[in-house]
Amino acid sequence: MTSTQTLPVDEPRAVDGPAADPPGTTERAALRELLAPVRTRTRVAMAMQVVAAFATIVPYVAIAELGKTLLAAGPVDSERVWTIVWVVVTGLGLRAGFGGGALMVTHFADVRLQAILRRRIATTLGRLPLGWFTTHSSGQVRKAAQNDIGDMHYLVAHSAVETTGAVAVPLAGLAYVISVDWRLALLAVATLPVYVVAYAVMTRGMTEKMEEMNRGLAAISATVVEFVTGIAVVKTFGQTRRAHSRYRDAATETAQAYDGWVRPMLRTEALASMALSAPVVLLVNLGVGALMVQAGWVSAIDLFSTTLVALIIPVAVTSIGFGMQARREASAAAGRLLELFGAPTLPEPERPRHPVGHTVEFDGVGFSYDGRTTVLSEIDLELRQGTVTALVGPSGSGKSTLATLVPRFHDVTSGAVRLGGVDVREIASDELYRHVGFVLQDVQLLRESVLDNIRLARPDADLDTVRSAARAARIDDRIMALPRGYDSVVGEDALFSGGEAQRVSIARALLADTPVLVLDEATAFADPESEADIQAALTRLAVDRTVLVIAHRLSSIVGADQIVVLDRGRVVERGSHDELTAAGGRYARMWERGTN
Ligand SMILES: Nc1ncnc2c1ncn2[C@@H]1O[C@H](COP(=O)(O)OP(=O)(O)OP(=O)(O)O)[C@@H](O)[C@H]1O
């Protein structure tokens, strides 16, 4: 049983912008929207980083002044020396305090944003129609909750501060060297253009190359998944070698593409980093600077002080490049998160109504998943309180779709589904799930103790109550035989077969005790003994409830109060087993063939 929450949340906005938006605009807007809750903190941190950037320059300037003082003719002015020492210490202290403080502010901001986004993901997931989860894998949800939020860490906690530092430190340094001598300033940044040009060459066509790489990696992972999921078939038909070679080919192709892309890039990168390396900066500044000193343009001590500052400019600049890649990844992650937040949610009624009784009615119900192909049309049905209705029909006739409209996996396209006289869309979702339970083919057991799995809807139920539900579902003996009994954890020391998992979920439904039940009679994988157990458990579950069962075996629904035959989304026959076999129609033929 799943219940949904109704937490207040901003209405999600559509992710896709107008068609005329230049590429990247939507993602930038997405990023701005996601980062809005921490904008003020980020700005405060940036301002702190500007102070830290100026403080970074102070010790270098002070040391240059110290040099001048010590080399000046006459006795050393010790008072001035001490003042300079204090300036150096203060500069270092301010840099550590403001720089560290800025990072602290952004890291707290990041934690806050992660909490906001995680809550928003939980709220969104709680408001999505259950049908959404049948078309989206848990992997996608996990990626959003972990990887995408994680990808945003660099952006929030580091990028703004580091980029500010990367711009402010060189600017502060440049301001100082210009104040000393404009020719020395030119020298201090002389190697920068080489880096900028090399970097531009390196990142040319980066987006396309990254896409190509991602395609290659996706192909490799697809062949691995194909191999692992189909391993039984692959081995049985002796195709292991072929499957291996497909993986090898995909891996080789991607490796070659990577090599072809990265090799020239590494050469350029080496050149770029060389242009900003300390020996090259020193060589250019001291070499050319010495000529300037000889020519009498500048003093040796000025050259010394500007060379010191020139050494710190490159370190700051190179961090910009690193930040750009992380920013790109974070923007893409933000886009994916907003896509999740923008998924159409199940509207909650403004003024919820309460059902009276537990009769379910389908009134002129029509449904389409995509708005084009009609899956159900003109369904009029009444599932009277306390009766069992079985749905039969060929595969794809719409049985599951019809049944899952009752717990609002999706909302009808036309007509209405009513419970106790109230349209299910007018019942608050948590109340709806207190009335409607379901046991579907795809049994979902959580990685928790068997006890907690069974008492999911009633966490306060004691062991005796849980055991009596499990006994009714014919699974108690099996659970007691587990190493830690009811405390065994599903997936660790509680490993259930398909039929056993089905019975655990029946025990869960029995305990939840909802008056309306939607059952998918999943007996396809069960052995005859297990099938008999499941049938017995289902029969027990159906007592005194309004039950809608998707029947795969006609033998199990002979006693149903009403059998509904669906074909291509329409009700083609309806009646009891005796009435339908006597009528000699579709059901009678299915019964004779012994198939559904
Ligand atoms: N999530 C979905 N999105 C789009 N189309 C869907 C979705 N689920 C089912 N369909 C389509 O709706 C139609 C009815 O499917 P449904 O699963 O309700 O049939 P069914 O009678 O329960 O079939 P089966 O007995 O094989 O389970 C099919 O054509 C199917 O392809």
Q: Which atom of ligand 1 is nearest to the CA of 134?
A: 1
Cα angle 318-324-327, degrees, rounded to a multiple of 5: 145
Query: How many helices and strands (H and E) does the chain possess?
Result: 23, 10
- Write down the residue that tokens 């301001």 correspond to: 175
Is 596 a residue whose pLDDT tops 60?
Answer: no
For 299, the 3-state DSSP assignment is coil
Query: Quick one: 446 and 547 in the same domain?
Result: yes
Q: Is the CB of 345 under 6 A from ligand 1?
A: no
State residue 321's pLDDT score.
67
Q: Flag whether 472 is in a domain.
A: yes
Rounded Cα–Cα distance for residues 531 and 534 (Å): 5
Range of the domain at 472: 360-593
Query: Quick one: 416 and 483 in the same domain?
Result: yes
The residue with greater pLDDT, 370 or 526, is: 370
Query: Quick one: 232 and 377 in the same domain?
Result: no
Query: Quick one: 565 and 501 in the same domain?
Result: yes
Q: Is the CB of 441 under 6 A from ligand 1?
A: no
Neighbours of 252 (CB within 10 A): 10
Query: Quick one: 385 and 528 in the same domain?
Result: yes
Query: Quick one: 216 and 245 in the same domain?
Result: yes
Q: Is the CB of 375 under 6 A from ligand 1?
A: yes
State residue 126's pLDDT score.
76
In the reported structure, the alpha carbon of residue 402 is separated from the centroid of ligand 1 by a whole-number distance in angstroms of 10
The encoded tokens of residue 360 equal 């379910």
Q: Which atom of ligand 1 is nearest to the CA of 569?
A: 14
Amino acid in the structure at residue 571: V
Domains in the chain, number? 3
Pocket of ligand 1, candidates 397, 413, 520, 567: which has the most ligand atoms within 8 Å of its Cβ, to mutate? 397
Q: Return the CATH number at 48.
A: 1.20.1560.10
Q: Flag whether 306 is in a domain.
A: no
Q: Is the CB of 395 under 6 A from ligand 1?
A: yes
In the reported structure, the alpha carbon of residue 144 is separated from the centroid of ligand 1 by a whole-number distance in angstroms of 27
pLDDT tens for 291-349 read 999 998 988 888 988 898 888 887 777 777 666 777 777 777 887 788 888 887 778 88
Query: Quick one: 337 and 366 in the same domain?
Result: no
Query: Quick one: 462 and 544 in the same domain?
Result: yes
Pocket of ligand 1, candidates 399, 438, 564, 570: which has the most ligand atoms within 8 Å of its Cβ, to mutate? 399
pLDDT tens for 120-179 read 888 888 777 777 776 666 666 777 777 788 888 888 888 888 888 888 888 888 898 999
Q: Is the CB of 138 under 6 A from ligand 1?
A: no
State residue 140's pLDDT score.
66
Query: What is the C-alpha end-to-end distance of the chain, expressed in Å?
Result: 27
In the reported structure, the alpha carbon of residue 582 is separated from the centroid of ligand 1 by a whole-number distance in angstroms of 30
Predicted ipTM of the assembly:
0.96
pLDDT tens for 25-34 read 666 776 788 8
Q: Is the CB of 398 under 6 A from ligand 1?
A: yes
What percentage of the chain reaches a pLDDT higher than 70? 88
In the reported structure, the alpha carbon of residue 242 is separated from the centroid of ligand 1 by a whole-number distance in angstroms of 33
pLDDT band per the 50, 70, 90 thresholds, residue 569: very high
Residue nearest to atom 12 of ligand 1 (CA): 375
Query: Quick one: 139 and 231 in the same domain?
Result: no
pLDDT tens for 507-543 read 888 888 889 988 887 655 556 666 666 767 777 777 7
Who's near 95: CB < 8 A, 6+ residues apart?
Answer: 52, 55, 56, 58, 59
The encoded tokens of residue 137 equal 């894998």
Q: Is the CB of 78 under 6 A from ligand 1?
A: no
Q: Which atom of ligand 1 is nearest to the CA of 370?
A: 4
State residue 526's pLDDT score.
55
Q: Flag whether 440 is in a domain.
A: yes
Q: Flag whether 175 is in a domain.
A: yes
Rounded Cα–Cα distance for residues 252 and 238 (Å): 23
Rounded Cα–Cα distance for residues 445 and 460 (Å): 18
Residue nearest to atom 16 of ligand 1 (CA): 398
pLDDT tens for 1-19 read 333 322 233 333 333 333 3
Residue nearest to atom 17 of ligand 1 (CA): 400
In the reported structure, the alpha carbon of residue 190 is separated from the centroid of ligand 1 by a whole-number distance in angstroms of 68
pLDDT tens for 186-197 read 999 888 888 888
Mean predicted confidence (pLDDT) in 453-457: 86
What are the distances in angstroms from CA 317 to CA 192, 195, 275, 463? 9, 9, 12, 64
Neighbours of 115 (CB within 10 A): 12
Query: Quick one: 323 and 437 in the same domain?
Result: no
Q: Return the CATH number at 479.
A: 3.40.50.300
Q: Flag whether 557 is in a domain.
A: yes
Query: Global pTM?
Result: 0.61
Q: Flag whether 425 is in a domain.
A: yes
Mean predicted confidence (pLDDT) in 426-447: 83
Q: Which atom of ligand 1 is nearest to the CA of 131?
A: 1
Q: Flag whether 134 is in a domain.
A: yes
State residue 6's pLDDT score.
29
Query: Quick one: 418 and 566 in the same domain?
Result: yes
Q: Is the CB of 397 under 6 A from ligand 1?
A: yes
pLDDT tens for 162-179 read 888 888 888 888 898 999
In the reported structure, the alpha carbon of residue 125 is separated from the centroid of ligand 1 by a whole-number distance in angstroms of 23
Q: Classify burial at 574, counting beta carbons within 10 Å of its beta carbon; exposed 0-12, middle 13-18, buried 19 or more.
A: middle
Residue nearest to atom 30 of ligand 1 (CA): 396
What are the distances in angstroms from CA 379 to CA 436, 573, 588? 20, 12, 21
Pocket of ligand 1, candidates 128, 369, 377: which has the most ligand atoms within 8 Å of its Cβ, to mutate? 369
Q: Are strands 516-520 and 436-439 parallel, antiparallel or unpaired?
A: parallel
Residue nearest to atom 5 of ligand 1 (CA): 369
Is 22 a residue whose pLDDT tops 80?
Answer: no
In the reported structure, the alpha carbon of residue 136 is separated from the centroid of ligand 1 by a whole-number distance in angstroms of 15
The residue with greater pLDDT, 22 or 426, is: 426
Do 350 and 47 form a contact (C-beta atoms < 8 A)? no
Residue nearest to atom 28 of ligand 1 (CA): 396
pLDDT tens for 45-61 read 999 999 999 998 899 88
Q: Are strands 562-567 and 570-575 parallel, antiparallel or unpaired?
A: antiparallel
Most confident of 106-115, 296-305, 456-465, 526-535: 106-115
Is 584 a residue whose pLDDT tops 80?
Answer: yes
Do 550 and 571 form a contact (C-beta atoms < 8 A)? no
Q: Flag whether 582 is in a domain.
A: yes
State residue 86's pLDDT score.
94
In the reported structure, the alpha carbon of residue 96 is separated from the centroid of ligand 1 by a whole-number distance in angstroms of 62
Query: Quick one: 533 and 431 in the same domain?
Result: yes
